[in-house]
Amino acid sequence: MCARDAIDVADLNLREMPTLVREPNEASRTNETNLIEVERSLIVEALRQHGGNVTLAARKLGVSRDTLRYRMEKYALRREDYV
């Protein structure tokens, strides 16, 4: 459907596609910080409620004991601080 022998870019009626990866902005960094704070506070609260018992705290949070221990390490939380 081209008037010439060769097809040109203009004949394809292409438009520039939007970027799929968003540039991080201040709002997304703020949301990430809030998520980190929320996750940490949930872990602290679960540990306090269960006297530092990681197994029970993990059960309350709906995660495995290993996952909770990983998160505790990530946030430098020690079981002994909640006994």
What is the C-alpha to C-alpha distance for residues 24 and 49, in angstroms, rounded to an integer? 36
Position 76 in a domain: yes
Q: Domain span at residue 77? A: 37-83
What is the C-alpha to C-alpha distance for residues 77 and 43, in angstroms, rounded to an integer? 9
Cβ-proximal residues to 80 (8 Å cutoff; 6+ apart), any chain: 52
Position 70 in a domain: yes
Position 53 in a domain: yes
Position 25 in a domain: no
Position 7 in a domain: no
Q: Tell me if the pTM is above 0.95.
A: no
Count of domains for the chain: 1
Position 10 in a domain: no
pLDDT (tens digit, 0 to 9) for every residue of the chain, 83 residues total? 667 788 877 777 777 666 666 666 666 666 677 889 999 999 999 999 999 999 999 999 999 999 999 999 999 999 999 88
